Structure 1
Amino acid sequence: MELFYFTSCKIPQASLMAAQTCVSNLLQTEAGNTACLLVVGEHLLPFEPAFSVVLLFVTSHGLGLIAELMKLPSLMGMLFAGVLLRNIPGDPVRGLPEEWSSAIRVAGLSIIFIRSGLELDWRSFRRVGLVALRLTLCPGVTEAVVVGLVSLGLFGMPIFMGLTLGFILAAVSPAVVVNGMFALQKAGLGTDKGIPSLVVAAASLDDVVAITGYSLFIGLAVPSGGLGWNIAQGPLNLVFGVVGGACGGLLLSATALWRKRWQRSFAIFVAGQLLMAFFVRFHFKGAGAMASLVMGLVAMIAWEAGWPRPLSVGPSTHFAHEAEADMAVIWQLFGQPMLFSVIGTALDFRLLAPTTVPLAIAAVAIGVAVRLPIAGSVVWGANLNVKERLFVALAWLPKATVQAALASSPLDAVYSTMMSNPEWMTECRNEGSRFRGDPGFEEFCRYDDWGQDILTTAVFSIILTAPIGLLIISTLGPRWLTQDKRKQEEEASKREATEEQSRAEEEAEGHAAGDSGAWAQMKRMESNLLSVEMKLRVLEDASQLLKGDPESVFEFKDRFQDAVTALRRQIARMEFESTPATFETAGQFFRVQDMEDYWAETNHPLSAARSRIARHSAPLQRDAPVNGSRV
């Protein structure tokens, strides 16, 4: 906390008031720090655990903001915060215990897969069909197998440890890919051929493939018993995760117990953390991640179906979106900065062998070199040209969230199952260690090296692919994807409306000098209403688009139409209450069939409106120029 004592006090000016302000800020900060010390205790002192957590939290948010200003993913800045703090002289986060780091990583892993389950777009995946299935399975599985085989030669690790690394690297980052595809879809790029929907649908299931492969091989990768138990651990991770997640999802489906939004969000967060902690306690970390994902998926399906009937308040498609939005807030404020910064602190260059980083980069490059051609070739049948296929392949490049969540999992498994003495962690690189003769020490050191290799490779996969992937999606998307006709017509309509508004403003300015005040007022009103008309057109176009997909978003159609109606009526009320007009002109402009019924519905004094219109109709007709312009 001492690092922040002087951030609230700028260099004092040459005045007594500035000096007093500086002293006041210092005293207030010192008082707050003292209060925290009294409550938390010595953990908040410099280089202690709580101090390290606060320092990581603040630094990761600051560097994440800087990364965004540099047009990079914020997670890059957060990851760099941990790497920087760990490797600068003095190592200010050296007081962070391994138990705290593991707990932070476990909590972040649970949040990631809860969100993956809640936002799994299985309807879109079903609509897209076999192309999305091939894009989900083929590139990731191929990359995992190739990286697993290459790791035998690069790192000398066993095949199952290599396959574990392969499936950690196999997942794409939803944080980069999905957000980039939504931006392209909003711009109407590639939507004629469904390219954004294809990539989003495949990415929504890509995490499932990665965590399934990871869960199958992590039990075989780190020995924790006899051969039979090691073989059984992979399938058990998968079975326990599915069963535990299904039970948690069924409990959350009883919305009669969780009627309010905050109750559902709180329940799913706590349930995910409990499932994760339970399985980690019994050395089934893969089962914990799978349980979080399955729980979110089962809860989402049950909420949409309103099942089970006796314990549900009824079907709703909003519950899953609301819970996912709340999980996103927790992730952005706490989960993401803490997870990526803690993963960054695990990368200590002082402990790495000189060859580790080049070998890690080589493993990532080989995996990507295999992945991209496979991703481009499996989209046959989607009617894509060469550039569009190449774009889909390159969009399948970014890695971030899953790699950060699982990077240290093999190393954690090594520590929890093979480390008989906590002092072994720092003695493996000591050739003259007194533990060299202890049973199991040499084997632990080998697996510790392989765990460090996996961690380093996963971190460098984020550093190398996340910014490049974001740059590719944002730069090549507008160049290589064609804009659909509906979006082109919408933009043309906007341009016409803008030009029409400009002409109306010019005419209003021209008549302001010579025409009557009533006509100038009417032209200014028309200019403002034209601006509103543009917004109404956008709303109507959105409503028509939503009508075309009733299976997933039909419930939003009425909301859009109600919004359009309310906006039209509000404008009509403003126009009649503040400016002169006639029922006929307003009805023509707003396309309202019976304005008298409208005024009756709104309890407007009809006689007053009629007298007001009559009072202004004569000067309007007398001063109106005969040029065919619309009023």
Structure 2
Amino acid sequence: MLTSFAYMFLLGIILSAICKKLHLPSLIGMMATGMLLGPYVLNCIDGQILEMSDDLRQIALIIILTRAGLSLNLHELKSVGRSAILMCFVPACFEIIGVMLIAPPLLHISLLDAAILGSVLAAVSPAVIVPRMIQIMNQGYGTKQGIPQMVLAGASVDDVFVIVIFTACTTLATGNHVDATSFINVPISILLGIAVGFLVGYLLTKLFQLLHLRDTIKIMILMSTTFLLLQIQDQFPNIPFSALLAIMSMAIATKQFYSTLASRLQFRYDHLWVVAEFVLFILVGASINIAYIQTIGVLAILLLLFGLLFRMVGVLICLVKSKLNRKERIFTMIAYTPKATVQAALGPIPLSMGLACGNLVLAVSILAILLTAPLGAFAIDSLYKKLLQH
């Protein structure tokens, strides 16, 4: 296992450095590392690491969301409040509808299979978007208009919404009944997650103000608390509760009630992210099987482009009454396109359930990661200084 980690980090550092020299996002090098070392090419990653990949990716996602919460200023977010709320579900709905319109005639699948495919594709990737929005906020681009804050918050809730839709569609595909409570649980899950996280964050800040602890110990307490929140979500599946939103909300509460501590913790979480980023994207790359993509090729690319076009229309609708100018709206549309972690997690599920669309969903999910993650990251990195006000 240790040898595998050595290969992963060393090759990942080399390929990431090459990508930076070519003015490409470093995550391309990390994903390429995973693809080369993964089970479908050189098979140099220990099986135990691959078995733990879901947990390792979860830890990386916790670090991402905590960093996001520690950076998020609620007062700045209020300036685009209505648009931020709409961004949580409208673009995803538009993308699902777009896929449902074009997938049946293009790929000869049923409307329900198209809905499953659309619900997998509709989620954006916090792993790609959140670190870039934090970087943009730290550099002072678009913050007065609340653009990176809006994208950051919307991307986090977007995933919760999409996962609920995906669960409902796969339940229908297996012949089970889906009632109205499945959809009513969406807002309950979001609101309960935010409320619990904010309460826990408030209590932790009071504890940290009372006790003199090193920042390293405080991070250990925060990380342990986030693990417990995830465990609560898993142990009580009948309770609509989003642990991921609770995690980000907990960090936002820390920012609100103890801003000096939040600044110090954000600096240390930035260091944690350096390692977590390598682990996350290398393992995402390791899950990619290029052979699947050859079965659908150009048709899948057309499907993805059509879905992204619908998503961009959804983003534009969210911004109708906002004060953003044309350049800022274009940036928001581009920033809301990268996909990676959710597709890597949900893509294999229909196949494991024995659904007829399983191979197709997995192949298109892989293609979505390969195309939108690097291209979206490259577009964000290249354009934010040109499209946003400093």
- TM-score, length-normalised on structure 1? 0.52
Gapped regions of structure 2 (runs ≥ 5):
none
Picking from 179, 199, 204, the partner of 2:135 is 179
> Helix, strand or coil: the match of 1:356?
coil
Q: Is residue 257 from structure 1 mapped to residue 207 from structure 2 by the alignment? A: yes
Shift, 1:137, TM fit: 5.6
Shift, 1:321, TM fit: 3.3
Deviations 1:366-412 (A, max 9, x none): 2333344554576455566xxx50453145314687x3321222246
Shift, 1:233, TM fit: 5.2
CA contact (8 A) 1:399 1:461 kept: no
CA contact (8 A) 2:71 2:255 kept: no
CA contact (8 A) 1:372 1:394 kept: no
Q: Is residue 392 from structure 1 mapped to residue 329 from structure 2 by the alignment? A: yes
1:244–1:297: structure 2 CA closer, same or farther, 3 Å change rule? closer
CA contact (8 A) 2:124 2:337 kept: no
Give the alignment of 1:88-167 within 5 angstroms: 90-93=42-45, 95=47, 98-130=50-82, 138-154=90-106, 156=109, 158-167=113-122
Higher relative contact order (CA 8 A, sep 6+): 2
Shift, 1:236, TM fit: 4.8
Picking from 410, 417, 436, the partner of 2:346 is 410
CA contact (8 A) 1:407 1:459 kept: no
CA contact (8 A) 1:240 1:287 kept: yes
1:318–1:110: structure 2 CA closer, same or farther, 3 Å change rule? same
CA–CA separation in structure 2 for the residues paired with 1:129 and 1:238 = 17
**Structure 2 letter corresponding to 1:366:** F
CA–CA separation in structure 2 for the residues paired with 1:458 and 1:320 = 32
CA–CA separation in structure 1 for the residues paired with 2:16 and 2:337 = 14
CA contact (8 A) 2:30 2:282 kept: yes
> Helix, strand or coil: the match of 1:173?
helix
Query: Which residue of 1 is the match for residue 262 of structure 2?
Result: 320
Q: Is residue 300 from structure 1 mapped to residue 252 from structure 2 by the alignment? A: yes
**Structure 2 letter corresponding to 1:465:** G
CA contact (8 A) 1:111 1:272 kept: no
Shift, 1:159, TM fit: 4.5
Identity among equivalent positions (%) equals 18
Shift, 1:274, TM fit: 3.2
Query: Which residue of 1 is the match for residue 223 of structure 2?
Result: 269
CA–CA separation in structure 2 for the residues paired with 1:242 and 1:99 = 33
1:145–1:183: structure 2 CA closer, same or farther, 3 Å change rule? farther
**Structure 2 letter corresponding to 1:158:** D
CA–CA separation in structure 1 for the residues paired with 2:369 and 2:253 = 33
1:345–1:372: structure 2 CA closer, same or farther, 3 Å change rule? same
CA–CA separation in structure 1 for the residues paired with 2:293 and 2:116 = 19
1:323–1:146: structure 2 CA closer, same or farther, 3 Å change rule? farther
1:405–1:222: structure 2 CA closer, same or farther, 3 Å change rule? same
CA–CA separation in structure 2 for the residues paired with 1:145 and 1:117 = 31
Query: Which residue of 1 is the match for residue 309 of structure 2?
Result: 369
Shift, 1:345, TM fit: 0.9
Shift, 1:462, TM fit: 0.8
Query: Which residue of 2 is the match for residue 341 of structure 1?
Result: 282
1:378–1:280: structure 2 CA closer, same or farther, 3 Å change rule? closer
Query: Which residue of 1 is the match for residue 146 of structure 2?
Result: 198
Deviations 1:225-265 (A, max 9, x none): 87346875565576457546644553443335334333332
Shift, 1:296, TM fit: 2.9
The total of aligned residue pairs comes to 380
Picking from 267, 273, 277, the partner of 1:331 is 273
Picking from 45, 51, 57, the partner of 2:9 is 57
Give the alignment of 1:141-540 within 5 angstroms: 141-154=93-106, 156=109, 158-169=113-124, 173-180=129-136, 183=139, 185=141, 197-223=145-171, 227-228=176-177, 236=185, 239=188, 243=192, 246-247=195-196, 249-254=198-203, 255-258=205-208, 259=211, 260=213, 261-277=215-231, 279-280=233-234, 290-301=242-253, 304=256, 315-333=257-275, 335-350=276-291, 352-372=292-312, 375=315, 379=319, 388-398=325-335, 403-411=339-347, 413-414=349-350, 418=353, 443-444=354-355, 446-447=357-358, 449-474=360-385, 476-477=386-387
CA–CA separation in structure 1 for the residues paired with 2:125 and 2:41 = 35
CA–CA separation in structure 2 for the residues paired with 1:281 and 1:59 = 38
> Helix, strand or coil: the match of 1:362?
helix
1:64–1:229: structure 2 CA closer, same or farther, 3 Å change rule? same
CA–CA separation in structure 1 for the residues paired with 2:26 and 2:182 = 36
Shift, 1:211, TM fit: 1.9
Query: Which residue of 2 is the match for residue 68 of structure 1?
Result: 20
> Helix, strand or coil: the match of 1:407?
helix
CA contact (8 A) 1:242 1:291 kept: no
CA contact (8 A) 1:154 1:359 kept: yes
CA–CA separation in structure 1 for the residues paired with 2:268 and 2:89 = 30
What value does the CA root-mean-square deviation take over the aligned residues? 3.9
**Structure 2 letter corresponding to 1:264:** K
1:63–1:109: structure 2 CA closer, same or farther, 3 Å change rule? same
1:249–1:135: structure 2 CA closer, same or farther, 3 Å change rule? closer
**Structure 1 letter corresponding to 2:296:** T
Deviations 1:286-322 (A, max 9, x none): 978x313223314533663xxxxxxxxxx42223333
Gapped regions of structure 1 (runs ≥ 5):
1-43, 45-49, 186-193, 305-314, 419-442, 484-631
